[in-house]
Amino acid sequence: MVLEGVWKSYPRWGASQRTLKALLLRRVPGRMTPSTRRWALRDISLRLEPGTITGLIGPNGAGKSTLLRLASGVGRADRGHIRLPPETASVLNLGHAFSPDLSGRENAYTAALMAGLPRRAATAALPLALDFAELEDFADAPLRTYSEGMKLRLAFGVIAQLAPQALLLDEVLAVGDLRFQHKCIAHIEALKADGTAILLASHGIQEVAERCDNAVWLQAGSVRATGPADGVVEQYREAMHSATLDRTPPQRGEPESLELRRNRFGSQALVIEDVSVMGSADSEVGVGGRLDVRFVLRPSAGLVRSPIIGLSVHRVADGLLCYDTSTQADGVVVGDVNGPLLVDLSFPCLDLLPGDYVLDIGAYEAQWEFAYDYHWHAYPLKVTGGAQDRGIFRPAHEWTLRGD
Amino acid sequence: MVRLRDLTLHLAKRELDATHRMTVLGWAWPLVRQLAQLAVLVFIFSKVLDLGIDNYPVFVFTGLIAWTWFAGGITSASSSLLAQRHLLFQARFPAVVLPVVALAVPLLDVLLALPLLLVLVAATEGLPWTVVLVPMLLAVQFVFMAGLAWIASAMSVFFRDVPNLVGLALMLLFYLTPIFYGLRNLPGRFRELLQINPLTTIVETYRALLLGDPLPGTGHLVAVCVLSVVVAVVGFAVFQRVQGRFVDQL
């Protein structure tokens, strides 16, 4: 699949401009000037090689979905060429083609026909699709009774029956549960091994770094970087870091333990306050003991939309990252924050080996574009105990020895 | 082509299934609707205002079947793209099938009503052999409607007034087509004016084939066939030309 110099713009329509009245009232025909057009893609060129996975990364509104749409043949580019293999499959918007009153089976059949399978092949693919989706028991229930996850499974089950030369995926896998995601990823890897060129848009930059061969970073409709996935992802991360730094205001007043631009970063639109790290004693916890981290998130100027809250644990001795998690990684929905939000993250048994650790706590923009507030290596944690074992973690374990 | 045909048939079936699934009468509804309209027309124009047409119920029913398909098909076709815009956002979905699907759905009404009409004709006047030519006429009407459907649906994407205009035009056309009256009920100059309407020729031909009425002139028949093909070709070309711009407008 090849895209060469693709440009795409959308007119800025007013709501009333699509009626005959507007046409009749428009005195000068073709009054559309470039200033009333919004360029969604500017001069995009990319090439997908068979047997590779290309990740498409970039913030919201960068043009990822527009690019995937055009590449799937929905809409037409203003300039440039798009060459697609005749057998291209895409999963763009989930289940929009589905009809709520018809059953899962009937909808799957429709989807198979629309994906280009002939009637007989579609009939043959139907049981396989339902099997892949693990929806045999619900196959005859009307689609309106399905959850979003079930719709995704149905849609992907159908796609899994195709052997496309190119496959385009738009961020859809995030809907499914973890096990099904793994199943889909395994299937995608198998397609890749068979020579399918795959293009997938993702917000999970870690996922892109791990699974993709190449990556394309879109920013405001242009390609900002392209090349091997880990390199592009690294650049993207750095840019996010500097975006955070750019938004970090200079420190004012008395220096305290937290100092902006030293160990505290972020736009401060949402601030982390009153952090307490409580184990058995303050900042101290026994091996396998309970740890509670509590803090307050306070928006400093108006509402903050669905931030991500993260925490990571580093070992002081060598700076090793022992554990890192976030509300997004754990599938916790934070929602919009327009007042103080009390956050309590508890570990019933913290299985770290004894030693000195340090915690980072951060609150990030909904797409990880920058940090609102990020406290770097700010909270010490001591794990106590007389263990003589070595490593990082101390999983609960038990020896059992039996002689004859 | 096979793909387009399979997809058209399947989408039409799907729409029929979805419409009739939750109803008690199911597939009988279209027939009930047509018979109700027939009953009203027969009552008015043979009891209230006698037009003096022999075997009036069969006469109206013939015109009504052709008209119901035309009006129902064009109405739903003109808003088919707007109503099913979600399908246009599917990868590589051939938009050209949607207006055709909208015509295929009310074709079912014709296929349900036609046997009943044939029984009525057979019982009252006896079937002429020309009945076997009806499928050909249905095909001509279908080609004509497809052309109009492509033009109207494509325009409706750019101008949302089009479905309203189509509704208005159909309302007028119902009275300007000899459906519940015959051409011979009209004075000469109006008769000629009405014959400009291609639907007049189509309806008259249905009556000729089914009831043994005189055929419209050869000139009219040829003109309607040629016009149908021209409208279809132009409609298809227009549709193909502008369909790349649909998704930006929806």
By three-state DSSP, how is residue A260 classified? strand
How does DSSP classify residue A21?
H
**Structure tokens, A276:** 């307490």
Torsion of CA A283, A284, A288, A292, to 10 degrees: -20
Domain ranges of chain A: 2-15+32-239, 264-384
Tell me, what's the pLDDT at A20?
62
**Residue B182 or residue A178, greater confidence:** B182
Interface of A with B (CB under 8 A): 10-11, 18-21, 23, 69, 72-76, 88-90, 92-93, 96-97, 99, 101-102, 106, 109-110, 113-116, 118-119, 168
Number of C-beta neighbours around residue A149 at 10 A: 13
Interface of B with A (CB under 8 A): 2-3, 6-7, 10-11, 14, 17-18, 21-22, 86-93, 158-161, 244-249
Determine the Cα–Cα distance for residues A75 and B242; give it in Å rounded to an integer: 10
pLDDT of A5 > 90? The answer is: no
Check CB contact under 8 Å for A18 and B158.
yes
What confidence tens digit (pLDDT) does each residue in B12-48 have? 888 887 776 666 667 778 888 889 999 999 899 888 8
The domain A264-384 having CATH identifier 3.40.50.2300: the answer here is no
Tell which of A7, A20, A126, A140 to mutate to test the B interface (max B CBs under 10 Å): A20
Check CB contact under 8 Å for B159 and A11.
no
Which residues lie closer than 8 Å to B203 by C-beta, 6 or more apart?
B62, B63, B66, B67, B177, B178, B179
A-chain residues near B90 (CB < 8 A): 74, 92, 96-97, 114
**Structure tokens, A313:** 């644990």
- C-alpha dist (Å) from residue B182 to A263, B41, B80: 92, 13, 33
Tell me, what's the pLDDT at A36?
63
**Structure tokens, A169:** 């995926």
> Which of A89, A93, A168 is the closest to B89 by Cβ?
A93
Check CB contact under 8 Å for A20 and B87.
no
What confidence tens digit (pLDDT) does each residue in A188-233 have? 899 999 988 999 888 777 778 888 899 999 888 888 888 898 888 8
Q: Is B43 left (phi over 0), alpha (psi -120 to 50) or beta?
A: alpha
Determine the Cα–Cα distance for residues A397 and A394; give it in Å rounded to an integer: 8
> Which of B92, B244, B245 is the closest to A88 by Cβ?
B92
Residues linked to residue A308 through DSSP beta bridges, in sequence order: A364
Residues linked to residue A379 through DSSP beta bridges, in sequence order: A359
- What's the mean pLDDT in B58-72? 94
Check CB contact under 8 Å for B6 and A119.
yes
Domain ranges of chain B: 2-249
What confidence tens digit (pLDDT) does each residue in A268-319 have? 899 998 888 887 667 788 888 889 999 999 998 888 999 999 999 998 888 8
Name the pLDDT band for B167 (thresholds 50, 70, 90). Answer: very high
Asked if B61 and B114 count as a contact pair (C-beta separation under 8 A), the reply is: no
- What's the mean pLDDT in B82-104? 87
Residue A394: closest CA among A321, A286, A305, A314: A286
Number of residues assigned to chain B: 250
Name the pLDDT band for A32 (thresholds 50, 70, 90). Answer: very low
- What's the mean pLDDT in A159-167? 86
- C-alpha dist (Å) from residue B237 to B231, B233, B246: 10, 6, 15
Determine the Cα–Cα distance for residues B209 and B207; give it in Å rounded to an integer: 5
How does DSSP classify residue A285?
E
Q: Average pLDDT of chain B?
A: 89
What confidence tens digit (pLDDT) does each residue in B216-246 have? 888 999 999 999 999 999 999 999 998 888 8
Tell which of B2, B20, B93 to mutate to test the A interface (max A CBs under 10 Å): B93
Asked if A308 and A326 count as a contact pair (C-beta separation under 8 A), the reply is: yes
Number of residues assigned to chain A: 404
Tell me, what's the pLDDT at B22?
62
Tell me, what's the pLDDT at B16?
81
B-chain residues near A92 (CB < 8 A): 89-91
Name the pLDDT band for A92 (thresholds 50, 70, 90). Answer: confident
**Structure tokens, B165:** 């205009």
A-chain residues near B88 (CB < 8 A): 74
Check CB contact under 8 Å for A20 and B247.
no
Rounded to the nearest 5°, which phi and psi values hold at A100?
-65, -30
> Which of B6, B90, B244 is the closest to A76 by Cβ?
B244
Determine the Cα–Cα distance for residues A187 and A171; give it in Å rounded to an integer: 16
CB burial readout A120-145, b (16+ within 10 A) else e: eebeebbeebbebbebeebbeebbee
Domain A2-15+32-239 class, CATH top level:
alpha beta
A-chain residues near B11 (CB < 8 A): 110
Check CB contact under 8 Å for B17 and A102.
yes
**Structure tokens, A9:** 């713009």
Determine the Cα–Cα distance for residues A354 and A3; give it in Å rounded to an integer: 55
CB burial readout A336-346, b (16+ within 10 A) else e: ebeeebebebe
Residue B105: closest CA among B21, B37, B16: B16
**Structure tokens, B134:** 């009806």
Q: Name residue, tokens 């006429």.
A: B137
pLDDT of B87 > 50? The answer is: yes
Q: Average pLDDT of chain A?
A: 82
Asked if A51 and A200 count as a contact pair (C-beta separation under 8 A), the reply is: no
**Residue A246 or residue B64, greater confidence:** B64
pLDDT of A33 > 50? The answer is: no
Which of A66-75, A223-232, A289-298, B78-87 shows the lowest mean pLDDT across its residues?
A66-75
Torsion of CA A75, A80, A84, A88, to 10 degrees: -30
A-chain residues near B158 (CB < 8 A): 18
CA distance A195 to chain B (A): 21
Residue B10: closest CA among A89, A124, A114: A114
Tell me, what's the pLDDT at A77?
83
Name the pLDDT band for B212 (thresholds 50, 70, 90). Answer: confident
Number of C-beta neighbours around residue A269 at 10 A: 20
pLDDT of A85 > 60? The answer is: yes
pTM given for the model: 0.71
Asked if A139 and A104 count as a contact pair (C-beta separation under 8 A), the reply is: yes
Check CB contact under 8 Å for B89 and A11.
no
Name the pLDDT band for B63 (thresholds 50, 70, 90). Answer: very high
CA distance B95 to chain A (A): 10
What confidence tens digit (pLDDT) does each residue in B128-148 have? 899 999 999 999 999 999 999
Tell me, what's the pLDDT at B23?
67
The radius of gyration computed from the CA coordinates of chain B, to the nearest angstrom, equals 19
Among chain B residues, CA nearest to A40 = B248
Asked if A142 and A163 count as a contact pair (C-beta separation under 8 A), the reply is: no
Tell me, what's the pLDDT at A255?
45
Check CB contact under 8 Å for B87 and A114.
yes
Tell which of A7, A39, A113 to mutate to test the B interface (max B CBs under 10 Å): A113
Check CB contact under 8 Å for A102 and B3.
no
Tell me, what's the pLDDT at B150?
96
Check CB contact under 8 Å for A118 and B3.
yes
Distance from the Cα of residue A242 to its chain's centroid: 20
Residues linked to residue A276 through DSSP beta bridges, in sequence order: A294
Tell me, what's the pLDDT at B80?
92
- ipTM value, please give it: 0.73
Relative to beta strand A166-170, strand A197-201 is parallel
Residue B169 burial (CB < 10 Å; 0-12/13-18/19+)? middle
**Residue B103 or residue A77, greater confidence:** B103
What confidence tens digit (pLDDT) does each residue in A330-384 have? 888 898 999 999 999 999 888 888 888 999 999 999 888 889 999 988 888 888 8
Check CB contact under 8 Å for A11 and B3.
no
A-chain residues near B244 (CB < 8 A): 75-76
How does DSSP classify residue B96?
T
Sheet with A37-47: list strands edge to edge: A37-47, A2-11, A79-83
Determine the Cα–Cα distance for residues A312 and A376; give it in Å rounded to an integer: 9
Determine the Cα–Cα distance for residues A260 and A250; give it in Å rounded to an integer: 6
**Residue B181 or residue B188, greater confidence:** B181
**Residue A65 or residue B142, greater confidence:** B142
By three-state DSSP, how is residue A23 classified? helix
Name the pLDDT band for B114 (thresholds 50, 70, 90). Answer: very high
pLDDT of A163 > 90? The answer is: no
Cα-Cα-Cα-Cα dihedral sign, residues A28, A29, A33, A39: positive
> What DSSP line would sit under A343-383, residue for residue?
EEEEESS--BPSEEEEEEEEEE-TTSSSEEEEEEEEEEEEE
Q: Which long-range contacts (CB under 8 A, 24 or more apart) does B151-155 make?
A: B151/B231, B151/B234, B151/B235, B151/B238, B151/B239, B152/B74, B152/B77, B152/B78, B152/B99, B153/B77, B153/B78, B153/B79, B153/B80, B153/B81, B153/B98, B153/B99, B153/B102, B153/B239, B154/B81, B154/B238, B154/B239, B154/B242, B154/B243, B154/B246
Determine the Cα–Cα distance for residues B85 and B247; give it in Å rounded to an integer: 8
